[in-house]
Structure 1
């Protein structure tokens, strides 16, 4: 082992794994750092790696070298020339050694001697000078792997925001667009026996065609916000498992293999606790189908009794296990039915930020549990809207375990370029990646296709396409979107009409309402609001809320005081009690969250203060108001 190899091994902190070269499936080696155009990428991910958390893997969390590149010289230089050798941060080169060997060598980076950043975690929280950094940063580390015949090596990224290009040993491995969904790359043909280098070019900036668009009302959060993992799997491996329960009492499942022996292979499915085992054979697509009669002893998943069953799939030398809940979800008129029985959704919205004054969107199991515990046991809730993008798989799996129903959405938010084909392709890919990751989570009952979007023909086609995609990929769940409401005043009474063209496409109507916070209406107007819709479907108040700075009290109960927020909740909940089609609530929001849009120097300072909890977890007066209302609804 050379001195360079030893130094890189120490840099990686990685354990030795096995892997292999698989020439037939290798990624083409390219040295270019030009951003990959994603428009031509397939809508469905080439590799799904469902339940990846349950597979043996090497976690690449820890210290990564990083190098800021605001002007993107690692992608292009003056006049859009390709980057020269001195700017290619992805190159497989020891810069210090090259400089020592050749006094004329010119490098404007040195990744081996660059500063380190702990990943996962948004760079905005790493250093004060990166708080509002929005652009390109390069990350690099090494890992150890020893390829073996009959195996392949996969790199999986749970979330990197926003556009990512991946290099292994100086060669392009792949690229991805989207900050909240996973992607997996086959790097078998790029790795070597021993120390390997992985480099990421991560660009957090958004364009007019990105999803979400340039302007949002949450924080930038650039970087690697969820774990990076290295997997070694058999040449032919179990890539996907989809299992669900039907109203007819059947357990349906599909297992998908990937690899040269995927077609015509034997597959076994077992649920030991239910004493179920079935054997199948894959078709030409590599998919085996199962249809089993559920035994009498089956316990359906509910928020009150979130029963999970171990399910295992085996095929060849590969095995995959997961813990799943079995239940049904449907609508009937204005009711939502869980396992055939009406359920009222007692919920709250949630951004993916951990408690603390400097959140890094590092959603560990303890961080996520702390938030969901406030929903389940603090607010007496049974439902959470994960806003405004797919949250960590840690969170959705905890919702399964804790018994919380979940609304999951992609960031089709505000002014997305609805008429742009590239933006639609990006959104469709995000929807597919989100559903394929989480469609075995019993907690998830709603796939949402948008939030507060304008009513235009282009938008209707855009979101309608996403709703159709959701039904094709997962017909066992419901669809919705947070819609804008048309409000008029008749004889002094506010009338709220959900006249959105999307109502015919969606299973559930959802409305965001901020009457008496935004606009000229007063709290006295809120309890009497009359709600109507052109179809008989369930309605969710998907957002409502008012800002309050924790600890600020005002005798006149003015805005931004805890008293005003509590009064706002009392008025809106009084109105909610009068709406016959209402099937649930998800007020805005559980916890104060960061956003550059909110800069009142006294009350906000870069925080949206609509949380019922402060950023550090202090409960405001409105928390108790909602908790008591939910307690009564739970009886």
Structure 2
């Protein structure tokens, strides 16, 4: 086995379901730049520890007066029917400024795990030929979304975005949106219930009403290919996607790529890379404006171009060896009472401390996908990134449902950030115990990474083994997943966890197996 150890970081089962069968909501790349409106701001909230907003005492549908998502004026109903039994009125409930974990709403919610209802109103007026989506960057952990009292959809997973089409649910004028957020971790969920850091229940990242044409650009992946050409994969969504003309422009390079989408609504475009192309690197994080056009839709992004590969025991960035110097970061803003309110200023402060304060060129965003704000800033600031999904520790590796969840999260994470030049490594797991179900589970995720993105490297943080040889501790890595990875990372805590005194650490040896 060849070791490709980029950084030493502290911090018989058959799988037959094809990647294309893994359900995914629209990506809506760069939703922050699309037409529509930001729904951040004042929302009212109502705690629901017994989930009576979902069902009655005998599992019957929730009754009138308990359904927080009903589009009705409680005041008007109770005036007309004084005997109406309403236990809750979202219009008179406490208010919070979102996005924000609910531990910041009220000190009493610091350790609450369960269901919380959020509600607000917004104005909308769709024109003919337009579609509308509600896009949430992250809701932890499960979300049930209602628009004007009707179900819009559900999502499970606390760290990846999801979009729900609400074109037919909107009214011209004032609209009500209600979100039931349940932070309860599930035994067959991703991540599993056990953790030793705060995962923050609530609507923790921005949300937006996105307005698109009937057929629109859902995703545009623009990159420098291994053969040195520029390539673009443009995915359209809509009834008229097949055969539609697509054009990708990079004005800073005087480059235009054009072609037609196939029957699946996907256009594959390529062109020779201009001689003046400046490759992205930590030393020179050059980004280019990219414009994607298809019919009435126009999507913009800022993209860096670079190559990554492994050769022998080295990682090559733009054909040259790079040594990764970095740390693991959790998604927490500086301050005494973080509430996962990651703003551009907050993310910049974190990344600046790593880059300038610690001389890092690399950050591991542990142990879940971090905000889009963070990965875009890493592009701008010149930091290489390890991006990870929350498959850690006691995941139910035997459960098909859990595997489907993990595959969906991985696909959503990759599709969200494929244009981020800073991302060098897709990680499929952290500290998972070796076993046949686990090996098959993670091997499937590795296959998915390679199918979705051949321009980056795949990794995982692995556990080590320890034994005593000639009176001295010997650490080794004996994990069959290692042979499937481009880069190996070992989490080791000698002198931190365990009984080793600090002065014994230098005597610990490592052996590759």
- TM-score, normalised relative to structure 2: 0.95
5+ residue gaps, structure 1: 1-40, 535-635
Aligned pairs (5 A) from 1:544-583: none
The yes-or-no answer on 1:80 pairing with 2:59 is: yes
1:436 to 392, 400, 415: 415
User: Displacement, 1:392?
Assistant: 0.1
Match of 1:335 in 2: 314
Cα deviations across residues 127-179 of structure 1 (Å, max 9, x unaligned)? 10010010000000011011221001111000000000000000000110000
Contact 2:251 2:289 in 1 (8 A): yes
1:391 to 346, 359, 370: 370
Match of 1:627 in 2: none
Q: How many Å separate the matches in 1 of 2:499 and 2:470?
A: 16
Match of 1:38 in 2: none
Q: How many Å separate the matches in 1 of 2:347 and 2:86?
A: 42
Q: How many Å separate the matches in 1 of 2:426 and 2:84?
A: 54
2:488 to 509, 512, 515: 509
2:385 to 376, 398, 406: 406
Higher Cα Rg, which structure: 1
SS in 1 for 2:447: helix
Structure number with greater CO (CA < 8 Å, separation at least 6) is: 2
Contact 2:278 2:286 in 1 (8 A): yes
Q: How many Å separate the matches in 2 of 1:519 and 1:529?
A: 13
User: Displacement, 1:42?
Assistant: 5.7
Q: How many Å separate the matches in 2 of 1:488 and 1:308?
A: 48
Match of 1:354 in 2: 333
Q: How many Å separate the matches in 1 of 2:130 and 2:36?
A: 14
The yes-or-no answer on 1:373 pairing with 2:352 is: yes
Q: How many Å separate the matches in 2 of 1:533 and 1:472?
A: 29
The yes-or-no answer on 1:53 pairing with 2:27 is: no
Q: CA RMSD in A?
A: 1.2
Contact 2:226 2:455 in 1 (8 A): no
Contact 1:329 1:340 in 2 (8 A): yes
Aligned pairs (5 A) from 1:157-176: 157-176=136-155
Cα deviations across residues 502-550 of structure 1 (Å, max 9, x unaligned)? 101111111111112222222223224332334xxxxxxxxxxxxxxxx
Contact 2:475 2:508 in 1 (8 A): yes
Contact 2:191 2:392 in 1 (8 A): yes
| Cα 1:333–1:532 shift into 2, 3 Å | farther
Q: How many Å separate the matches in 2 of 1:82 and 1:373?
A: 51
Cα deviations across residues 287-313 of structure 1 (Å, max 9, x unaligned)? 111111101111100000000011111
Q: How many Å separate the matches in 2 of 1:336 and 1:494?
A: 29
Contact 1:483 1:512 in 2 (8 A): yes
Q: Whose strand proportion is higher, 1 or 2?
A: 2
Match of 2:477 in 1: 498
Aligned pairs (5 A) from 1:77-226: 77-226=56-205
Q: How many Å separate the matches in 2 of 1:369 and 1:533?
A: 38
Aligned residues: 494
Cα deviations across residues 22-61 of structure 1 (Å, max 9, x unaligned)? xxxxxxxxxxxxxxxxxxx962423111121222331111
5+ residue gaps, structure 2: 1-19
Q: How many Å separate the matches in 1 of 2:139 and 2:439?
A: 29
Q: How many Å separate the matches in 1 of 2:385 and 2:187?
A: 30
Match of 2:440 in 1: 461
